[in-house]
Amino acid sequence: MTSKLESLNQWVAEVAHLTRPAAIHWCDGSDAEHAALIARMEADGTLVRLNEATHPGSWLHRSHPDDVARVEHLTFVCTTEREDAGPNNHWMAPDAAHAKMDALFDGCMQGRTLYVIPYCMGPIDSPLSRCGVEITDSPYVVANMRIMTRMGAPALARIEREGTFVKGLHSTGELDPERRFIMHFPEELTIKSYGSGYGGNALLGKKCHALRIASWQARQEGWLAEHMLILGIETPQGQTHYIAAAFPSACGKTNLAMLIPPEGYRRAGWKVWTVGDDICWMRPGADGRLYAINPEAGFFGVAPGTSAKSNPNALASVQANTIFTNVGVTADNQPWWEGIDNGLAPALDWRGEPFDPATRPAAHPNARFTVSARQCPSYSPMAEDPQGVPISAIVFGGRRASLVPLVFQARDWTHGVLVGAAMGSETTAAATGAVGVMRRDPMAMKPFCGYNFADYFAHWLSFDRPGARLPAVFHVNWFRKGDDGKFLWPGFGDNLRVLEWIIGRVQGTAGAVETPIGHLPAEADLNLEGVALSDEARAKLFGLDHAGWQAEFASIGRDLEDYGPRLPEALRQEQQRIARALAA
């Protein structure tokens, strides 16, 4: 190892001194290494081989029953100044956080192997990509990071060239919920995660690096790290427009990223390409446009609800070479989850016990699949382009049963930033006791922004400068309901009808009606051929409830005040401008 890697070698030595592992293994990402790891995990029961005839090269992992999801209340951003973390994050002083974590890490890897995982977020040769190194004692993490990132020797070579990397230290510890923390030190580009083996807490390249740390890096370096899918829409004329879209969880991100056009659109020659389903890094190019990469190399998707009807491309992706976590299995060892609708029945539940619907569901509601993005039938050939893809439109959306129309366009960039800052979703009966409670989730980044939201909004606004050719900004709502409580819009593939209008607006060919909240399509502006909409649906999907929007903008104004003196004045003025227009 050359001197450029001296800081990495020194850090590995320090961690080994603290954690006292039985062995140290530097991951090279090779097939031989992977096969040896898998064999080891199969031998000790960490992985269970699934049916080779139906799901070749696929495995089931059952996590500890107390370790099945992200732990927001145990996730901290540790900046020198509390205000830099902002009201949107739990904060701890860096010295206190390091002391707390180092006490947990002390001797925690005794009898275990310490794995050093060099990885690259984004195409290995892209100037937009950033590298990291995760140290972990979990072979399950190694196997997942190999799918989710560009891991191994090529990443190490890039780290050696650049000399900078994000440091991530992880141990499953005792899997004790009382001894579980995820700490982020953005000023040091460091992550420390202890006590969880779950993906979002343990695969440190994902939310920890690619969003919380990267959002901080992006602000320092003049780009954006966002919780957004990226899809390409190819028109019958052969032009491809790329759209980045942000939705809170349970709003159909993966479904939209892998959308299959309605039959009429397919016949006409429309195609949809998947670049990414979860995270988007965007940077201004020389021509003033925003160019985006998907920093991830795989999908870490929610299994329950995925079916041939809801998302055929996702289901096709996971038929081989997939790691399933916390799903049920059939009698012949095929993965099974609620909503798969494949005519089979579960024999064992996610805890490995005989399935009894009275006890628990077969799959945990947050059961996951980890699979290479290349296995997706709609995978875009541009996904590995080092320059990224040019973004034509940015779309925000939430789950709103009332008030919010099917789609509207922001009038300019500042208005678009306000639309993103004010976006939210209503709670469902499954989540909480109270139904229809509106929770704001700015840009779908509430759990993931690594610094003060007020500064984050200011960073977004800063992209509007001379020479910029910024994407148009839109808001969509697939979830509007009628008086009978049923959805008014068919959704799924038919969402392409809305995306077609969005592309038409970008090209200057689609009509719109100007309103105080933005540009709305008239009913005739959308291709609704073959879609049966009631009079109520037409009125609510394309109409504007003035009184309701006045109340909404009063609420947005109160929410903005919560960000305090750092809130950009331009955002406050934009809220007031629209409130006045609604009142008039």
Binding-site positions: 70, 198-200, 207, 227, 249-255, 278, 366-368, 399, 492-495
- Indicate if 251 belongs to the active site: yes
Distance CA 448, CA 186 (A): 12
Q: Binding site for substrate: residue ranges?
A: 70, 198-200, 249, 366-368
The tokens of 456 are what? 């984050």
Count CA atoms closer than 13 A to 306's CA, side-chain side.
30
The tokens of 161 are what? 């060239």
Distance CA 139, CA 144 (A): 9
CA distances from 558 to 136, 211, 482, 554 (A): 43, 27, 28, 6
269 and 233 Cβ atoms separated by less than 8 Å: no
Q: Which residue has the tokens 């992977």?
A: 34
Over its C-alpha atoms, the chain yields an Rg (Å, rounded) of: 24
How many C-beta neighbours within 10 Å does residue 285 have?
15
Please classify residue 312 by burial: count the beta carbons closer than 10 Å to its beta carbon, then call 0-12 exposed, 13-18 middle and 19+ buried: middle
For residue 115, what are the β-bridge partners?
25, 136
Please classify residue 179 by burial: count the beta carbons closer than 10 Å to its beta carbon, then call 0-12 exposed, 13-18 middle and 19+ buried: middle
| SS3 assignment, position 552 | helix
N-term to C-term CA, the chain: 69
- Residue ranges with strand state E in 199-297: 224-226, 229-234, 240-246, 271-276, 280-284, 290-293
Please classify residue 274 by burial: count the beta carbons closer than 10 Å to its beta carbon, then call 0-12 exposed, 13-18 middle and 19+ buried: buried
Distance CA 350, CA 202 (A): 20
Task: Please state whether 188 falls in left (phi above 0), alpha (psi between -120 and 50) or beta.
Answer: alpha
Distance CA 36, CA 187 (A): 37
Q: Binding site for GTP: residue ranges?
A: 250-255, 368, 399, 492-495
The tokens of 257 are what? 């990223």
442 and 420 Cβ atoms separated by less than 8 Å: yes
For residue 581, what are the β-bridge partners?
none
**Candidate list 251, 280, 376, 449, residue with the active-site label:** 251
Count CA atoms closer than 13 A to 130's CA, side-chain side.
24
Distance CA 480, CA 498 (A): 14
**Which candidate, 475, 470, 582, places its Cα nearest to that of 520?**
475
Distance CA 15, CA 19 (A): 6
Angle at the Cα of 98 (from 108 to 196), degrees rounded to 5?
A: 45
Q: Cite the active site residues.
A: 251
